Amino acid sequence: MKVPVKEQYLINPSLVFFVVHSMQIGVGVLGFQRYVAIYTEQDSWITVVIAGATLHIVIWLMYKMLNKEQGDIISIHESVFGKWVGGMLSVLFMLYLIALGITILRTFIEVLQVWMFPLMKTWTFSLVYLIAIYYIISGGFRTVVGACFLGVVVPFYLIFTFLAPLEFANFRNLLPVFDHSIKETLSSFKTMTLSYLGFELLLVYYPFIKKPETSQKWAHYGNLFTVFLYLYLMLITLVYFTPDHLKRTIWATLTMWKIIKFPFVERFEYIGIASWVVVIFPNLCLAFWAASRTAKRLFNVKQKKVLIAILTITLVVNTLLRDRASIDLLNSWVSKIGLYFIYGYIPLLFVCSSLLSKVRKKT
């Protein structure tokens, strides 16, 4: 069932590159290396490549379903499972989007509290940030896409700052290659999931793309650029840290920034974290826009009213998550749900959709 969207709300296919990439690059970049290296150490860069490559298959499956349905995930659910069961599955997807947004915001606030403002109250930053998010989302999807574009372009200079640790690099840290078992690689593969999450929001904003069939290559390009950045960061991290040191370093990216010093600023990581506010912002805007859009489609309510409710829930939950253990648990659960959704549910939905399509053609 095609979802009607007015022409003035549509975006060019090429902008899908920025939407996909900006959603995948978030708070996970600041410390994903340690969690991957726990299992595969010097072979962690292989895990990054394998995980990124499999996502191209998932993106292809998503476009196959979306191009056929010419709608969003709600349309696909209704077509395959019917109104009630499909509606329940769409509600679960909406809850997942809210959980993803809460995880991103609370994890980033933890970074701010640990590295910059130890006495900062969680609710104060959350409230200010959520008000800004409401303002952007109220402007419509095109405004959200604009935030995604700026979230990629503005902090792009930070890529070059990671060349500084190469002065102390030991390239022998990358040897021996292919030294870990398949079981260890799979365990490492799972931990990369949270860092790559976000591209699945394509299932919601697909109807907002002009000639959406032509946007597939841009979605693949966006994911490919994400893989390149994670690989780039992982390789630099591996040659800078020893395996034992890396396993004890929670925020590896921020630790590497600490070695950069200028005459006018001694703590460059403060600049990096401040710049990361621009990176995290489109993550949250897109996640909460997708959640409120899904609610609007399901319950036929005004998106702004639903958005206020979602942001209020986010503020309350963020305030309740006070220690490292609860935040880590939230990250772990959202990562697992994302893993099962991407590598389990989407292929299953594709198979069900394909079989149903064949049955309908025969009848």
Question: Is the distance from CB of 344 to CB of 61 less than 8 angstroms?
Answer: no
Question: What integer pLDDT is reported at residue 363 of this predicted model?
Answer: 66
How does pLDDT run across 209-268, given as a tens digit for each residue?
999 999 999 999 999 999 999 999 999 999 999 989 998 998 999 999 988 887 777 788
Question: What integer pLDDT is reported at residue 344 of this predicted model?
Answer: 95
pLDDT, tens digit only, all 363 positions of the chain? 667 788 889 999 999 999 999 999 988 899 999 999 999 999 999 999 999 999 999 999 999 999 998 899 999 999 999 999 999 999 999 999 999 999 999 999 999 999 999 999 999 999 999 999 999 999 999 999 999 999 999 999 999 999 999 999 999 999 999 988 999 999 999 888 778 999 999 999 999 999 999 999 999 999 999 999 999 999 999 999 998 999 899 899 999 998 888 777 778 888 999 999 999 999 999 999 999 999 999 999 999 999 999 999 999 999 999 888 899 899 889 989 999 999 999 999 999 999 988 887 776
For domain 7-354, give the CATH superfamily: Amino acid/polyamine transporter I (1.20.1740.10)
For the chain, domain boundaries: 7-354
Question: Is the distance from CB of 243 to CB of 45 less than 8 angstroms?
Answer: no
Question: What integer pLDDT is reported at residue 2 of this predicted model?
Answer: 67
Question: What integer pLDDT is reported at residue 243 of this predicted model?
Answer: 87
* Environment class of 179 (CB within 10 Å of its CB; exposed 0-12, middle 13-18, buried 19+): exposed
- 57, two tokens: 């298959």
Model confidence, pTM: 0.95
